[in-house]
Amino acid sequence: MDAAKSLYATLSRDCPVVAIALVALGSLSLLKFAWKTTCFLLQTFVLPGKSLKKFGAKQGAWAVVTGATDGIGKEFALQLAKAGFNIFLVSRTPATLTAVGQEIEQKYPGVKTAFHAIDFAKADESAYEGLAAALKERDVSVLVNNVGKSHNMPAYLVDVPKDEMLDIVNINVTATLRVTYAVLPGMVQRKRGLILNIGSFAGAVPSPMLAPYSGTKAFLSTFSDALGAEVKKDGITVEHVNTYFVVSKLSKIRKPSLFIPTPAPFVRSVLGKIGLACGAAYSGRPNTSTPYWSHALMDYAMTLVGVKSIFIEHTHRLHVDIRRRALRKAEREAKQQ
């Protein structure tokens, strides 16, 4: 401390311009931190997001939800129906889609539902053309690109089954592109729309032993930033929802905790904070939001630390341990058969 004071005194005496510049730089950095932190706190805990009425709620508009029959996707369908949207469900199994549609219509009289069955892992051009045709004549003003796939267990790339790797890319990347491509022209024409791309912390922090999954989630962030800039002039909001673990089949987590919510409060936070960066306020990601409060705290803290290698190394160690335990469980189950 004494050395720093001595250096500053010397600079002040011999190089006053440099001293003033250093003070100004430090003051600007402090002001930036204070401003960003204030924005983060207000957006995460105080301010409401854009009203869903802006996107056609209770006006006959449709919301399309992919991966809509379970977990986060089903919860998006239910909450958007409650908000006053007709719901178009997209998933693999017709029977499950029918059941979810009936549940929504019984719970929210007056809400219409429709569905289209498609296996995004295996979908070819004709399958996507069929989906586009089913959506073409509808007033789609909300799209939730929720469908996703992760690895059966953490694995180094050389050990990842080829089919699993290809499925992850087809579901997480190709499906997002093709479904967005199908509904976007109508949104542009009507000058109204909301596109939610459900991402993952694995896209922000490169995740060893989940390399294909991590890469596809990083794609969502960049894609959302680029698309958001393209369609802002058309009144369309594009949001990459940065997500930590949520109780679901995808995460393989069954019990909620402080940092792992069930789908209902998570989806409620997403729909309540549209247009606000929340936990992503400090990072400067223009079309990213981390709306759930505990996820927001984690995202903000990680951005402040800023040394990504620390989190990469931690994630690597964590996945090594998860794989070890998963292999042991598989061995025990094999012996019991």
Catalytic positions are 213, 217
Q: For residue 65, give the nearest of 222, 197, 203, 239 by alpha carbon.
A: 197
Tokens of 141: 């003003």
Question: 87: phi > 0 → left, psi -120 to 50 → alpha, else beta; which?
Answer: beta
Q: Which amino acid is at 150?
A: S
Specify which residues 253 forms β-bridges with.
248
* DSSP codes, 1-62: -HHHHHHHHHHHHH-HHHHHHHHHHHHHHHHHHHHHHHHHHHHHHT-----GGGGTTTTT-E
Q: Which residue has the tokens 């409620």?
A: 268
Q: How many residues does the chain have?
A: 337
- CA dist., res. 115 & res. 90, Å (int): 6
Three-class DSSP category at 120 = coil
Sheet with 86-91, edge to edge strand ranges: 113-117, 86-91, 62-66, 140-145, 193-198, 236-241, 288-289
Chain centroid to CA 190: 25
Cα angle vertex 245, ends 43, 317, to 5°? 120
Q: Are 289 and 49 in contact (CB under 8 A)?
A: no
